[in-house]
Amino acid sequence: MSDRPQPPSEILTMIKVMVVDDSAYNRVTISKLLDSARDIRVVATAVNGEDAIRQVMKHRPDVITLDLEMPVMDGFAFLRWLMVTLPTPVIAVSSRSSDRSVFKALELGAVDFVAKPGGRISAQLEQIGTDLIASVRQCRQIRIENVSARLARQEEAPPAIEESGRAVVGIELVVIGCSTGGPPAIQFLLETLPLLPIPLVIAQHMPAIFTRLFAERVNKLTPYTVKEAQDGETLQPGFAYVAPGGCQTEVVRSGDRLRVATYDALLEDLYAPSVDHLFSTASDACGPALIAVVMTGMGDDGAGAIRKVRENGGRTLAEAESSAVIF
């Protein structure tokens, strides 16, 4: 019968979401997008940070979508309060005019971000529906206690670092793959990792434009020279290259040197940049002289190629479950 109740399993897996945005149009549109998914229900909306505090205490949502630029109390102030008082997965929904703000939000505890097309109030907002629903669903796997632990570590003085070559004898390259939770993890890694006399190449699932901004941000905060990878450039020791969003990045050998090649992703590519593609080409180029690292993230990108790295004699590492935002 059409009116029979939902099975208990469906009720138990329903994701309760709160939408925070000072634009009434955005609140309504985002709520409609999320409510269109069978397993997502918008339980509350809020017009600013102060209103969000009241609503989150009343409704205790599983996930919060958060505008960052709001009057009275902005998204950053609300995030600081939330992560201390009632840690909850937050997805920053930010306009492209405030691209750099998303990294501040991630540093304060947001676990993911989705960029609004157009301006802060955009008639194109429905375009983000697929990405936003996917991001909310993956919050089921978020280990919010690990986000809180990472925020606590940020309050501590970073350990002194120094240049060190002893731990990388026989290694030409380190490749790193990340997805959800990756930007703060990469920043922390490069802040605390001794300055290695070899290059690093990083594939972080992130849209175009944001990878360059992310590289510029981390470059100011770590001893590494961090930049977005450019097609054809030779990899230099002490540099960390971020694979550009919307493109595929590979490592190729040119005589006794390594260089990167980048090209536009195909329509059928699920990830761009792809960790699998980066790891696979790096393994072809470096063989046993490669270290491949998989850090926090969603999905299986990197799982296949890291086996290839191992089979070719390279060294493989994975972030511990005790620290990964998504293991």
Q: What is the pLDDT of residues 3-24, one digit of tens each?
A: 444 444 444 489 999 999 999 9
Average pLDDT over residues 240-260: 95
Spell out where the chain has E strands.
15-20, 40-46, 63-66, 90-95, 112-116, 173-178, 200-204, 225-228, 239-242, 247-254, 257-264, 290-294, 315-318
Q: Phi and psi dihedrals of 116, rounded to 5? A: -70, 130
What is the reported pLDDT for 151? 86
Q: List the end-to-end C-alpha distance of the chain, in Å, as a whole number.
A: 40
Answer whether residue 116 shows pLDDT above 90. no
300 is catalytic: no
226 with 240: CB under 8 angstroms?
yes
Query: What pTM did the predictor assign?
Result: 0.84
The pLDDT of residue 3 is 44
C-alpha to C-alpha distance for 165 and 206, rounded to whole angstroms: 31
The pLDDT > 70 percentage for the chain reads 87
The DSSP H or E segment spanning 207 is none
Q: pLDDT by residue (tens digit) across 122-180?
A: 556 677 888 899 999 999 999 999 899 888 877 665 555 555 545 567 899 999 999 88
| pLDDT value of position 118 | 58
Q: Which two tokens stand for residue 182?
A: 């990756």
pLDDT band at 75 (very low <50, low <70, confident <90, very high): very high
Give tens-digit pLDDT for 194-206: 999 999 999 999 8
Per-residue confidence (pLDDT) for residue 209, from 0 to 100: 82
Query: Average per-residue pLDDT in the chain?
Result: 88
Task: With a cut of 60, say whether residue 97 has pLDDT above it.
Answer: no
Region of poorest pLDDT, from 127-131, 280-284, 304-308 = 127-131
SS3 for 78? helix
Using CA atoms of 195, 196, 202, 204 in order, give the dihedral in degrees to the nearest 10: -40
Q: What angle do CA 313, 249, 138 make, to 5 degrees?
A: 90
**Model confidence at 56: pLDDT above 60:** yes
Q: What pLDDT score was predicted for residue 168?
A: 63
**Do the beta carbons of residue 93 and residue 75 sit within 8 Å?**
no
| Mean pLDDT of all residues in 68-80 | 93
Which residues lie closer than 8 Å to 194 by C-beta, 6 or more apart? Answer: 161, 162, 163, 164, 167
So what's the pLDDT on residue 193?
92
**For residue 242, pLDDT beyond 50:** yes
Residues 6 or more apart whose CB falls under 8 angstroms from that of 296 comprise: 178, 179, 180, 181, 182, 185, 319, 323, 324, 325, 326, 327
State residue 9's pLDDT score.
46
Candidate list 22, 51, 67, 301, residue with the active-site label: 301
The residue from 179, 274, 280, 283 that is catalytic is 179
Known active-site residue 301: yes
Length of the chain: 327
**Percent of the chain residues topping a pLDDT of 90:** 65
Report which residue type is found at 135.
S
Of 148-162, 214-228, 232-246, the least confident: 148-162
> Does residue 179 have an active-site annotation?
yes
Q: Is the pLDDT of residue 312 over 80?
A: yes
Q: What is the pLDDT of residue 159?
A: 57
Out of 31, 95, 112, 205, pick the active-site residue: 205
Kindly state the DSSP code that residue 234 receives in the 8-state scheme: B
